[in-house]
Amino acid sequence: MSVEALSYAIDDQDRLIRVDDGYYRFAAENGWDGAGASLGRSLWDFVAGHEVKKLQRLLLRRVREGVRDVELPFRCDGPEMTREMDIRIAADKSGRVVMFSAKLRAEEEREEPQPLFDPNVPRDNGDFLPMCAWCDRFLVEGEWVAVEEAAKRLELFRRSKLPELDHGICPQCSGQLLAA
């Protein structure tokens, strides 16, 4: 069983000012490098992909300036596990400090491990596979598909190196974030 909940908070400069124990345990479970030194660092150091950053900044601005509080589902899959989570993003009265709390909704062990999610497998530089950073689906032949389907279509099991992941956001998730 994974960590069930984690939370962190940022100041008005988007620097991490508070992380809880769940954050550290989640980081360790998922092989995030340097998570121990997260405090004081910019939230954006931990977000991959230009498009994803842009959309999350927009969402954060809306939370600070008006909506104050949103809750959204997202996927956080690992090589051995599928995980459905909910994240709540809430600003304090001043809108300066924003608190992120993520909760695990459902977790399931995969029948077969999916190395695409493993940050430690060798990658083929220059061969890019677009991935949605929010729902963990992959763009293959113009279609956003789950990892099993992506692996099948790309015959990943026959390769010695996996493509590099290009973190973006799919149209469905982008619509969901903008509507939040």
Q: Is 87 helix (H, G, I), strand (E, B) or coil?
A: strand
Write down the least CB distance from residue 174 to Zn ion, Å: 8
For residue 73, how far is the Cα from the chain centroid? Answer: 11
**Separation in Å, CA 81 to CA 22, 91, 102, 166:** 18, 31, 17, 21
CA distance 15 to 130: 28
CA distance 93 to 97: 9
Number of residues in contact with Zn ion, rule: CB under 5 A? Answer: 5
Write down the least CB distance from residue 142 to Zn ion, Å: 15
Site string for Zn ion, 135-154 (x = CB under 5 A): x-------------------
Which of 26, 20, 28, 35 lies closest to 3 in space, CA to CA?
Answer: 26
Window contacting Zn ion (CB under 5 A); options: 36-44, 65-73, 85-93, 129-137: 129-137
Write down the least CB distance from residue 11 to Zn ion, Å: 29
By CB under 5 A, tell whether 85 contacts Zn ion: no
Identity of residue 30: N
Window contacting Zn ion (CB under 5 A); options: 40-48, 60-68, 107-115, 168-176: 168-176
Shorter beta-carbon distance to Zn ion: residue 6 or 133? 133
Task: By CB under 5 A, name the one of 129, 131, 162, 173 that touches Zn ion.
Answer: 173
Shorter beta-carbon distance to Zn ion: residue 52 or 170? 170
Window contacting Zn ion (CB under 5 A); options: 23-31, 119-127, 145-153, 165-173: 165-173
Beta strands in the chain (DSSP E): 5-10, 16-19, 69-75, 81-91, 98-109, 123-132, 138-140, 143-145, 162-168
Structure-token match 């279509």, residue found: 153
Task: By CB under 5 A, name the one of 98, 134, 154, 177 that touches Zn ion.
Answer: 134
Shorter beta-carbon distance to Zn ion: residue 9 or 129? 129
List of residues contacting Zn ion (CB under 5 A): 132, 134-135, 170, 173
